[in-house]
Structure formats: structure tokens, C-alpha cells
Structure 1
Amino acid sequence: MDGEKIKDSAMDLVLNVADYYFFTPYVYPASWPEDGALRQIISLLVVTNLGAAVLYLGLGAISYYFIFDHNLMKHPHFLENQVWREIKYAMTSLPWISIPTVALFFAEVRGYSKLYDNVADSPLGWPGLFLSMISFLFFTDMCIYWIHRFLHHKLIYKLFHKPHHIWKIPTPFASHAFHPVDGFLQGMPYHIYPFLFPLHKVLYLALYVFVNIWTISIHDGDYRVPGALTTVINGSAHHTDHHLFFDYNYGQYFTLWDRLGGSYRHPSALMGKGPHDLIRKLQAEGKLGNDEAKPNGQVNGRAQRGVTCKEE
């Protein structure tokens, strides 16, 4: 593979930094060339797993401590030790998800994608850069909708997607708590886009970080959505209803495909029938008491009655 092609990747930016500051001086022997396939695969596995863990735990912790409403931990469907269980499940799955993901990253590094270095290389220049960002969002939203809906098929659901629906009232740490097959399939559109369409490598990295932030945000329990965007943007309120009622709101960023596919549900939390409303009702009935939400996610067992939620 010639040197020019090996430069046409977003991950080479990351690998170059990792090689310069860590792998070359401290890890690999001098006899291992930086563009060697085995070295690149090993480095990509290390960088991908470390990056995924940092993004997940770092962004998840920020969201959990500064955005997530801990009052939701009083909800009857919030599980005992749920936060720890979400983290444990995610951290167990991420290394497995990284294996096929690294195969795609390796193909990028070896020059098989349409990633480019300079804006001048864009077919449409700066407008092309902007259009590629918009098309990335709409392409991945469309793909994830249909992949997500496929994962809800009765022949597939229990095998791969059901573990994610254990979290009826998710926290930000539920964002990556998927079965490995489920996690890879729903992440695949992000990785195949640059093999199909031109995309600036720095923009690709920025979008990759954005995707992680968004995935955490729709699990963060912050149900506020600007009024004008309520019917357009798929936010935490929409996605919480997906966890509670199962076959609605499959979308990632937008409600477009849910509307086209007949699976849109206006968020219960925006109609006075959401998780917070149930908590207030149970407290008023004396079924929750005035106990503070416990750090380990335990709730008053008496509150397990009187709650409706679709069973899968």
C-alpha cells in the first residue's frame, strides 16, 4: 500500500499522535515500521478501546452528575444498583464491539475510504463540507432507524436488543450498555458513511464525538425540548418513551423516520404523563415516602404497584 493512501484516514491522525508520544518511544521495537499492518491493528485496538472508555465514562459522568435528574431514581422501574449495572454491562461489551469496528478503521487507514485531508479536496469545497455534515446526520439517522426497528423484530429482539431495554428509566450510563452485536450494528452507519461518501477526516472525528454526546443525551433524563423542535428532534423525552413502551420512537436524532414508519409517539413527559409525573403521584399517595434517591439506584419496593409499562 503506497504512502499516499495510508494518509487518507481520520484514524491516522489519532495513530500519528499515539505513535509519536507513546507507541514508538515506549512500546514497539524499532524494527516494527509504523505503517505495518499488524502494528496498526494492535494500535487501533488499543486506541479504540481506550477512546471509547474515556468518551463513555467521561461524558457519561459529566451528564450523570450535572444533567441527569437523580429524582428519577425513585421511579418504580429504576433497578437496584442500576447505575453500576449499566456501567459494568457497557464496559464488558465495548471491547467486543471494538473488534469489528477496528476492522473498518483499519480499512480506512489503508486508504479504502473516501476521507480526505483538505477542504480543497472536497468536490464542492466549503459548501461540500457543510453538506457532508448534514448528509451524515440524515444518512445515519435513516440507517439507525431501520436497524433499530429490525432489532425489535420478535425473532431478533431477545437475542441482541432486549438487554438494552432492561433500563426502563435509563441514566446516561445506559447509553452504551448494549449487547455487542446490537452495539456494533447500531454504530455501523457511522463507520460505513465515509466508504460511500466524501468526508473530511477532521469533521469525521468531530462527528464521532458528537454521536457519542448525542447517544448519552437521549438517555440523560433531561426531557426539555425547545417547543418549536419537539416534533422534529428526537430527544431524551422521546427516547425514554421508547424504553418504556417498546415499539415507538426508534430514531436517533430526528422524528422523521418514526413519522414515515408510523412509530412516532409524542413524549409522555411533555403531556404530564411522564416518569416525573408518576413519581409525584406515588409520593402524593404515600407510596414512595420522602426518601432521597439512593446512590445505588434502590427504590421503595412498595412503589412497584400501579405502574403501566409495555412488557417485551
Structure 2
Amino acid sequence: MFLKVLIHSICFAVKFDCCIVCSYSELFKNFFHLDFEDAIPSNRAMLLQIYVAMKAMPWYTLLPTVSEYMIENGWTKCFSSISEVGWFAYITYLAMYLVIVEFGIYWMHRELHDIKPLYKHLHATHHIYNKQNTLSPFAGLAFHPLDGILQAVPHVVALFLVPIHFRSHIALLFIEGVWTANIHDCIHANLWPIMGAGYHTIHHTTYKHNYGHYTIWMDWMLGTLRDPEDDSRQKAQKVQ
């Protein structure tokens, strides 16, 4: 069973990565070319990111494989049907789960910066993409394998702390891949309080701001938030 789940997870990961490659096509690049020429990464940079991501992809599948094994053996608080708890409890548990994940990923990400050996040997692999014109959706999965696994650990820890619908948990793991690709495309949608690409681009250029995941709340509470709108205004003032 474990081997079967592992094989399925690897196949899923490869298919997902191929979908990302297709989505960031030349047509997409050309659409933004006129207004964002300086922000478009080179083909060489994107190919390197794809290489790093694909090399790490089989390792990324280990954590969801282990978590699904634990779920199927009844070691976690997962439940299989919403009817077991009702919609109100489901929504409450889902909100609690997301809060735990938000908290956990913020601190995991921040410690990967603050603990120097972790940064040097793990997270620095991802932060070689430290300028806007080196970032692309492919950079979102271009991590050292252990780094990528560590940043997903809060999803698994949450399974033991709060009841969560199994399919919702799997869906949220899938959304992780979509989200991390999205926040590396340098296209700031400015949807408060979402921690979008504008915030994350700042993170890649300053290294000490915007560690958060889906929202800005953790950075706001802990003083590490840097708003892209304020950042743009400051740059404009310096130019003047």
C-alpha cells in the first residue's frame, strides 16, 4: 500500500509540474512583454528553475505519502465525510487548520532564514532567485528537497491537532503547489489581505520581510510586513 501511494504521488507531482510548464507559455510572456520587459526572466533562468524543481519533485512526494499512510491507519484526526461532523463544524475545523498552517509556515520559513546553517545549506538554493527578473512560477518549486518538505510540515502537524476533512486536506496540498507558483510570477494583484506575488517579490529582494503564506497577518503581527505599494512609493520618491 505504501509503495502504491508513493508511486501515485510521484505521478501526480510530475503531471502537476508539466501543467505549470505549459501554463507559463510564450504567449503569456508576450502578453506582459510590453509593460514588464525588465521583469521577464530569461529562458536560461526558467530552465534552471525547472531543472531544480524536477530534481526535487520525487522527494517532495514523500511527506504527503507518509501523511496519507498515517491517515489511512487512523493515526490522525482526519474524517472522511463532512456528514460525520456537519457543515458548521467542518468550516470551523477548516478555519482552525488554516490558522495552524499559516502560523507554522510563517515560523518555518522565518527560521530557515534566521538559522544560518539552515539558510546556507537549504533555503539558499531557492534564494539565488533574488531579483524580479529572475523570478518565475517555476521558481516556486525550485527548492532544496528538504527545504520544500519542511515548509509543508505544518500541513501534517495540523492533522494531529484539529479534525480535518480528508479530501479538503488533499485539496489544500494541491493548492500549495498552485499558490507557490502564483506568488513567484511577480504580478501583484493587490488583494488585501492576501500575501500575493508583490509581497513575495519583496521577500526575495530584502530577505527579511513577508515570510507569510496565504495572508499578511503573521507578518503584520510580528513586524516583518513590507507593503509593495509603500515600497513602490519609496522607490519613486528616491528617483525624484
Coarse TM-score class (shorter-chain normalised): 0.7 to 0.9
Map Cα deviations across residues 125-169 of structure 1 (whole Å, 9 max, x no partner). 101111222222221111000000000022321110001011123
Q: Aligned residue for 1:139? A: 100
Bigger Cα displacement from structure 2, 125-134 vs 248-257: 125-134
Does the 8 A contact of 2:9 with 2:65 survive in 1?
A: yes
Q: Aligned residue for 2:226? A: 265
Q: For residue 83 of structure 1, what is the amino acid of its counterpart?
A: M
Map Cα deviations across residues 168-202 of structure 1 (whole Å, 9 max, x no partner). 23101111111011000001111222222111122
Q: State whether structure 2 residue 202 is matched by structure 1 residue 241.
A: yes
1:112 counterpart (75, 83, 86): 75
Q: Aligned residue for 2:124? A: 162
Question: Structure 2 vs 1, CA of residues 64 and 105 (structure 1 numbering), >3 Å: closer, same or farther?
Answer: farther
Unpaired segments ≥5 residues, structure 2: none
Q: State whether structure 2 residue 170 is matched by structure 1 residue 205.
A: yes
Map Cα deviations across residues 99-147 of structure 1 (whole Å, 9 max, x no partner). 344222211222212111222322xx10111122222222111100000
Say which SS state the counterpart of residue 61 (structure 2) adopts. helix
Q: For residue 131 of structure 1, what is the amino acid of its counterpart?
A: T
Q: Which residues of 2 match residues 216-231 of structure 1 at below 5 A?
A: 216-226=181-191, 229=192
Say which SS state the counterpart of residue 126 (structure 2) adopts. helix
Say which SS state the counterpart of residue 208 (structure 2) adopts. coil
Give the Å deviation of 1:269: 8.2
Does the 8 A contact of 1:241 with 1:268 survive in 2?
A: no
Q: State whether structure 2 residue 100 is matched by structure 1 residue 121.
A: no
Q: Aligned residue for 2:157? A: 192
Q: For residue 38 of structure 2, what is the amino acid of its counterpart?
A: K
Q: Aligned residue for 2:44? A: 81
For normalisation by structure 1, the TM-score amounts to 0.67
Query: In the aligned structure 2, how far is the partner of 1:96 from the partner of 1:190?
Result: 16
Aligned residue pairs: how many?
230
Structure 1 runs (4+) deviating above 6 angstroms are: none
Query: In the aligned structure 2, how far is the partner of 1:272 from the partner of 1:51?
Result: 42
Does the 8 A contact of 2:82 with 2:90 survive in 1?
A: yes
Q: Which residues of 2 match residues 44-55 of structure 1 at below 5 A?
A: 44-55=5-16
Bigger Cα displacement from structure 2, 193-202 vs 83-92: 193-202
Bigger Cα displacement from structure 2, 205-214 vs 150-159: 205-214
Query: In the aligned structure 2, how far is the partner of 1:202 from the partner of 1:224?
Result: 28
Query: In the aligned structure 1, how far is the partner of 2:22 from the partner of 2:229?
Result: 26
1:150 counterpart (111, 115, 118): 111
Query: In the aligned structure 1, how far is the partner of 2:216 from the partner of 2:104?
Result: 13
Identity %: 28
Map Cα deviations across residues 82-109 of structure 1 (whole Å, 9 max, x no partner). 1111110011011123234422221122
Say which SS state the counterpart of residue 141 (structure 1) adopts. helix
For normalisation by structure 2, the TM-score amounts to 0.85
Query: In the aligned structure 1, how far is the partner of 2:37 from the partner of 2:56?
Result: 24
Unpaired segments ≥5 residues, structure 1: 1-39, 282-312
The structure, 1 or 2, with the larger RCO (C-alpha pairs under 8 Å, 6+ apart) is 1
Give the Å deviation of 1:209: 2.2
Query: In the aligned structure 2, how far is the partner of 1:46 from the partner of 1:190?
Result: 21
Q: State whether structure 2 residue 82 is matched by structure 1 residue 102.
A: no
Which one has a larger percent helix, Structure 1 or Structure 2? 2
Q: For residue 142 of structure 1, what is the amino acid of its counterpart?
A: F
Q: Aligned residue for 1:251? A: 212
